[in-house]
Amino acid sequence: MIPPLTRIGRISAKHGFKGEVSIALDDSSLSKNIKKGNFLFIEFDGKGVPFLIENCSDGGSVVKLADIDTEEAAKEILGFTLFLEKNKVKENKQPGFDHLTGFSIKDEDSDFTATISQIEIYPQGPMLEVLSNDKTFLIPLVEEWITEIDEDNKRIGMRLPAGLTEI
């Protein structure tokens, strides 16, 4: 019998050509559970199917799952929802910025729009990792740049410095 599961994120991209995948966690504090020898559950037809983590990067953002050995196999599971056993997930006591994952951002001074794929905490401060037109950008989360936050529609209006998204 499969244990009770908790959603933790999704498979966001393939990584390399040996079946490795990048994962986007709903809450970065869950990365401590992503380690070699643990199981991730992938939702297929409404059921959680366990996959052994054969290997993973520091922080768990890139994983190699048992039985996913080719680039084609990795492509087949892109976008699928990931779960952990409910008893292995600890509540995050400190609220962070992870609730912003999935929000769209719009620069008020240009036509730049993007979707927040994850939030990384660096020594200089939090950074939004965003995806726009198949390109990934890092945008510092600077309060003075935010013009509007629409929680209901999951949108953030910003005034970004000129050139920040033209790389």
Q: How far apart are CA 46 and CA 90, in angstroms?
A: 24
pLDDT band at 48 (very low <50, low <70, confident <90, very high): confident
- CATH dotted code for 98-158: 2.30.30
- For the chain, the maximum distance between any two Cα atoms, rounded to a whole number of angstroms, is 55
Q: What are phi and psi of 107, to 5 degrees?
A: -80, 125
Mean pLDDT value across residues 29-56 = 87
User: Residue 144 has which token pair?
Assistant: 């003075």
What is the predicted pLDDT for the residue at 143?
A: 85
What is the predicted pLDDT for the residue at 91?
A: 54
Express each pLDDT in 50-59 by its tens digit.
Answer: 999 999 886 6
Express each pLDDT in 62-89 by its tens digit.
Answer: 999 999 999 999 999 998 988 888 877 7
CB 104 within 8 A of CB 155: yes
- Domain-wise residue ranges, the chain: 5-88, 98-158
What is the CATH architecture assignment of 5-88? Beta Barrel (2.40)
Mean pLDDT value across residues 117-141 = 85
CB within 8 Å of 140: residues ≥ 6 apart: 124, 125, 126, 127, 128
**Half-sphere exposure for 19 (CA within 13 Å, toward CB):** 12
Q: Look-up: residue for tokens 């504090």?
A: 29
Does pLDDT of 124 surpass 80?
A: no
Mean pLDDT value across residues 127-142 = 89
pLDDT band at 94 (very low <50, low <70, confident <90, very high): very low
Q: Which residues sit opposite 130 in a β-bridge?
A: 116, 137
Does pLDDT of 121 surpass 60?
A: yes
CB 37 within 8 A of CB 116: no
User: Residue 61 has which token pair?
Assistant: 């953002």
